[in-house]
Structure 1
Amino acid sequence: MRKIGIGLIGTGFMGKSHAMAWRAAASFSGDVQPVLVSVADIDGAAAERAAAQFGFQRWTSQWQDLIEDPEIDVISITSPNRFHAEQSLAAIAAGKHVHCEKPLAPNSETAERMARAAAEAGVVTQVGFNYVKNPLLKLAKQMIANGELGEITGFRGIHAEDFMASPELPWSWRLDPSGGAGAVADLGSHILGMARFLLGPISGMFADLDTVVKARPEKAGSATMKAVEVDDIARLTVKFARGCSGQIEANWVASGHKMQLGFEVTGSKGALIFNQERFNELQFFRNTDTESRNGFTTIVAGPDHAPYGLFCPAPGHQIGFNDLKTIEMLEFIQSIMQGKAQGPDFQEAWEIQKLVDAALRSSRERSWVTP
Structure 2
Amino acid sequence: MATGLKFGLIGSGFMGRAHAIALHGVAPTFGADYAVECTVLADQPLDRAQKAADSLRFQRASGDWRDLVADPSIDVIDICTPNYLHAEMALAAVEAGKHVYCEKPLALDIKQSIAVTEAAQRAGVCNAVGFNYICNPMMQVAREMILAGEIGEVVNFRGSYLEDYMGDPRVPFSWRCERRFAGAGALADLGSHLINMAHFLLGPIGRVCGVTRTVHKQRQQPDGIVRTVENEDVAQALVEFNSGVPGTMEISRIATGYKCGLAVQIQGSRGTLVFDQERMNELKLYRTDDTSGRRGFRTILAGPEHPDYAAFCPASGHGLGINDLKVIEVRNLIRAIRTRTNASPDFAEGLRVQKVMTAIELAAQQGGWIVPERITAS
Give me the TM-score of the superposition, normalised by structure 2.
0.96
Decide which of 198, 209, 225 is 1:206's aligned counterpart.
Answer: 209
State yes or no: 1:102 paired with 2:104: yes
Partner of 1:5: 6
Any idea what the Cα deviations from partners look like across 1:89-147, whole Å, max 9, x if unmatched? 00000110000000111112211111110011010001000000001101100100000
AA partner of residue 87 (structure 2):
A
**DSSP-derived class of the 2:85 partner:** helix
Confirm or deny: 8 A CA contact 2:43 2:49 kept in the other structure. yes
Matched with 2:40 is: 38
Query: Alpha-carbon deviation of 1:47?
Result: 1.3
Counterpart CA distance in 1 for 2:224 and 2:36 is: 47
Q: Deviations over 1:275-334 (max 9, x none)?
A: 000000000110111272101111000111121111111111111000000000011000
Partner residue, 1:54: 56
8 Å CA contact 1:29, 1:330 repeated in 2: no
The alignment status of 1:308 with 2:314, answered yes or no, reads: no
Q: Indicate whether 1:191 and 2:191 are aligned.
A: no
Q: Cα offset for 1:32?
A: 4.0
Coordinate RMSD, CA, aligned: 1.0
In the TM superposition, 1:82-161 aligns within 5 A as: 82-161=84-163
User: In the alignment, residue 20 of structure 2 is paired with which amino acid?
Assistant: A
Verify: 1:344 aligned to 2:325, yes or no.
Answer: no
Instruction: Look up the SS of the partner of 2:296 in the other structure.
Output: coil
Which digits, 9 at most, give the CA deviation of each residue in 1:10-38, with x for residues without a partner? 00000000000000013224334210000
Alignment match, 2:228: 227
Pair 1:325 & 2:321 matched: no
Indicate if the aligned counterparts of 1:184 and 1:250 stay in contact, CA closer than 8 A: yes
**Given that residues 140 and 307 in structure 2 are in contact (C-alpha distance below 8 angstroms), is that contact kept between their aligned partners in structure 1?**
no
- Contact 2:5-2:37 within 8 A present in 1 as well: yes
Give matches, 1:281-296, under 5 Å: 281-290=282-291, 292-296=293-297
The one-letter code of the counterpart of 2:282 is: E
Written as runs of structure 1 = structure 2, the 5 A alignment for 1:256-295 is: 256-290=257-291, 292-295=293-296
1:165 paired residue number:
167
Q: Is the 8 A contact 2:34 2:331 kept in 1?
A: no
Preserved CA contact (<8 Å) 2:209 2:369: yes
What is the CA–CA distance in structure 1 between the aligned matches of 2:17 and 2:111, rounded to whole Å? 30
Q: Distance in 2 between matches of 1:12 and 1:48?
A: 13
Deviation at 1:44, TM superposition (A): 2.3
Equivalent residue number for residue 70 of structure 1: 72
C-alpha deviation, 1:43, in angstroms:
3.0
- Structure 1 residue 229 displacement after superposition: 1.0
Correspondence list, 1:347-366, <5 A? 347-366=348-367
Alpha-carbon distance between aligned partners in 1 of 2:276 and 2:119, rounded to the nearest angstrom: 36
Contact 2:126 2:343 in 1 (8 A): no
How many angstroms does 1:65 deviate by?
Answer: 1.4
When the two structures are superposed, what TM-score results if normalisation uses the length of structure 1? 0.98
Alpha-carbon distance, 1:50 to partner: 1.5
| Residue type of the alignment partner of 2:153 | E
Query: How far apart in 2 are the matches of 1:266 and 1:97?
Result: 39
Q: For residues 138 and 224 of structure 2, what CA distance do their matches in structure 1 show?
A: 47
Q: Name the aligned partner's letter for residue 275 of structure 1.
A: D
Q: Give the corresponding residue for 1:240.
A: 241
Name 2:83's counterpart in structure 1. Answer: 81
Unaligned runs of 5+ in 1: none
Which residue is equivalent to 1:21? 22
- Could you tell me how far apart the structure 1 residues matched to 2:273 and 2:190 are? 21
Q: Is the 2:146–2:201 Cα contact (8 Å) retained in structure 1? A: yes
The answer (yes or no) to whether the contact 2:209–2:367 under 8 Å persists in 1 is yes
Provide, for residues 43-99 of structure 1, a one-character-per-residue CA deviation record: whole Å limited to 9, x for no partner.
323211211112101001110111111221000001000000110000000110000
Identity %: 45
Gaps of 5+ in 2: 373-378
3-state SS in 2 of match to 1:273: strand
C-alpha distance in 2 between matches for 1:185 and 1:29: 34
Residue equivalent to 1:252: 253
Question: How many aligned residue pairs are there?
Answer: 369
Aligned residues of 2:27 and 2:33 also touching (Cα < 8 A): no
